Amino acid sequence: MPSGYIPPNAHEEQADSATAGVSHVYAWLVCGVAAIAGLLFGFDIAVINGAVVFLRAQFHLTDFDTELAVSFLLIGCIAGAAIAGWLSDRYGRKRVLSFSALLFAASSLGAALPHTFAQFGAARFVGGVAIGVASMLAPLYIAEVSPARIRGRLVSLNQMAIVTGILLAYLVNWVLSFSGASSWRWMFAAAIVPSLGLFVGVFFVPESPRWLMEQARESDARAVLARVEGAARAEGQLVQIREALRQESGTLGDLFAPTLRRPLFLVMALAVLQQITGINTVLFYGSVIWEREFGGHHSTAIGANATIGVVNFVVTIFALWLIERSGRRPLLMFSSGCMAVCQLLLGLAFLLNQPPAPLVLGAMLLCVAAFAIGLGPATWVLMAELFPTRVRGRAMSVANMALWIASFLLTFTFLSLARAVTITGAFCLYSFLCVLTFLLVWRLVPETKGKTLEEIETLWR
């Protein structure tokens, strides 16, 4: 139980004490299955980091072509985010998660077998649609099935899965990089296995109780809540959800109603800033940066990025433990402040004629660690928490579209920006944007630690 949390009803706490351990185990298992979508998300966005050095040789890519190769996926992410909310509200969270698993598998196979650059781009676009859907739906589903007292930790499990996928991609890339020029095909094909795992796993998890209530399936919703919250708490949650649904009409127009403009602005701003503060320049182009600045074999550059993946993974484990203790706001402010310093340090390092490799790698590692401790997980948690049940799917879809558009713009312009204003200028710009993120969180973002989704909804009334 997080520090400072006061049970809403001591009676319910006692009634649940006998089953709390069981329901927590069940909640972790259910959320673990959904988080496989996050693992695939992380793997698919990071696998290009190592593969791109081989793709450049295979298809004779220019800098513009390289930006396009990396960005095909992100164009699909925008499309996936655009339809994810409507699909999940109409067909339910489970069915759409299954659909995304099939898209992941199809994309992995298609990206491994192309004979032309256009075919590769089409396969990566399909993978992007899967990521756009999963990036919205996995944290939303986890938030809706999680007990309030551990919701932040469980939603952060999705971020843990994302960084696990990133680390796996880096390690797979490094191991396969010794296999020769065609190793990039196996790098993409490796994602087929977890894709099928997600597809099978979804058959064994329940539907979201909040979506079930929207469909007037109260008995089914009660059964799910009883397993994750305990029978006594389940009844209280049903009352809260019923009241929240009664007050929300759930139309697209409601999303832009005066009471929801503030959370919509906050979530979209955080989503955009999470991306344009520059983290993906390291995650997507780390191998290219390393190879250009320090030379060496492809495997050396890919191996350096595997170190970044390890740091990302380890720090996210710590963030998973910390988010329910310190809250969302402190982590976001600490994260953005540290990233501002790291991005500035990285930019200054490239002012040197021959920047020391340990300095550059150290700055990259600190930047990734700062992102992983706060801006990475806490942004996804807030995106899943700040909206009422009836519009949550559509709201997260809009926020995810903003996130992926920002990610596309950053990724598609990085090499061109570095050429236009130097790599130092690019990283100094990202440092400034980190400062803006700190100020936004400090002034406008509320703390949601320990509150139920329905309690958070009352902040906007």
Distance (Å, whole) CA 205 – CA 177: 37
Tokens of residue 287, six digits: 């191998």
Check whether 24 has a pLDDT greater than 90. Answer: no
Q: Residue 219: is it exposed, middle or buried by C-beta count within 10 angstroms (0-12/13-18/19+)?
A: exposed
Q: Are 139 and 34 in contact (CB under 8 A)?
A: no
The stretch 6-34 carries a mean pLDDT of: 57
Residue 78 has, within 13 A of its CA and on its CB side, a CA count of 12
| 431 contacts: CB under 8 Å, gap ≥ 6 | 339, 340, 341, 343, 344, 347
Give pLDDT, residue 118: 92
Q: Grade residue 279 by pLDDT with cuts at 50, 70 and 90.
A: confident
Q: Are 377 and 163 in contact (CB under 8 A)?
A: no
Residues in the chain: 461
**0.95 surpassed by pTM:** no
Give pLDDT, residue 296: 56
Check whether 417 has a pLDDT greater than 60. Answer: yes
How many other C-beta atoms can be found within 10 angstroms of the C-beta atom of residue 18? 9
Distance (Å, whole) CA 161 – CA 436: 28
**Number of continuous H segments (helices) and E segments (strands) in the chain:** 20, 0
Give pLDDT, residue 127: 95
Backbone dihedral region of 7: left (phi > 0), alpha (psi from -120 to 50 degrees) or beta?
beta
| Superfamily of domain covering 21-460 | MFS general substrate transporter like domains (1.20.1250.20)
| 373 contacts: CB under 8 Å, gap ≥ 6 | 315, 316, 318, 319, 322, 331, 334, 335, 338
Q: Are 126 and 106 in contact (CB under 8 A)?
A: yes
Q: Grade residue 10 by pLDDT with cuts at 50, 70 and 90.
A: very low
Least confident span in 81-95, 290-304, 391-405:
290-304
The stretch 181-193 carries a mean pLDDT of: 91
Check whether 388 has a pLDDT greater than 80. Answer: no
Check whether 338 has a pLDDT greater than 70. Answer: yes
Give the residue among 144, 146, 398 at the shortest CA–CA distance from 263: 398
Give pLDDT, residue 320: 77
Whose tokens are 């196996």? That residue is 186
Q: Are 425 and 347 in contact (CB under 8 A)?
A: yes
Tokens of residue 293, six digits: 């600045």
C-alpha distances (whole Å) from 432 to each of 205, 275, 417, 436 are 43, 13, 15, 7
Q: Residue 116: is it exposed, middle or buried by C-beta count within 10 angstroms (0-12/13-18/19+)?
A: exposed
Distance (Å, whole) CA 381 – CA 140: 9
Taking each helix axis as running N to C, give the angle between helix 63-91 and helix 20-58, from 0 to 180 degrees, rounded to the nearest 10: 150
HEC letters along 225-292:
HHHHHCHHHHHHHHHHHHHHHHHCCCCHHHHCCHHHHHHHHHHHHHHHHHHHCCHHHHHHHHHHHHHH
C-alpha distances (whole Å) from 446 to each of 1, 146, 152, 267, 449 are 21, 20, 14, 11, 9
Give pLDDT, residue 297: 58
Q: Residue 419: is it exposed, middle or buried by C-beta count within 10 angstroms (0-12/13-18/19+)?
A: exposed
Q: Grade residue 283 by pLDDT with cuts at 50, 70 and 90.
A: confident
Q: How far, rounded to the nearest angstrom, does the alpha carbon of residue 371 sit from its chain's CA centroid?
A: 12
Distance (Å, whole) CA 152 – CA 110: 36
Distance (Å, whole) CA 83 – CA 334: 34
Distance (Å, whole) CA 277 – CA 429: 8
> Of all residues in the chain, what percent carry a pLDDT higher than 70?
90
Whose tokens are 């139920």? That residue is 452
Q: Write down the mean pLDDT value for the chain.
A: 83
Tokens of residue 458, six digits: 């009352």
How many other C-beta atoms can be found within 10 angstroms of the C-beta atom of residue 439? 11
Q: Residue 19: is it exposed, middle or buried by C-beta count within 10 angstroms (0-12/13-18/19+)?
A: middle
Q: Grade residue 293 by pLDDT with cuts at 50, 70 and 90.
A: low
Q: Grade residue 109 by pLDDT with cuts at 50, 70 and 90.
A: very high
Whose tokens are 């402040």? That residue is 337
Question: What confidence tens digit (pLDDT) does each residue in 360-373 have?
Answer: 888 888 999 999 99
Please report which residue ranges of 279-388 form alpha helices under DSSP H.
Answer: 279-294, 298-326, 328-349, 357-370, 376-385
Distance (Å, whole) CA 249 – CA 232: 28
Give the residue among 177, 170, 175, 188 at the shortest CA–CA distance from 310: 170
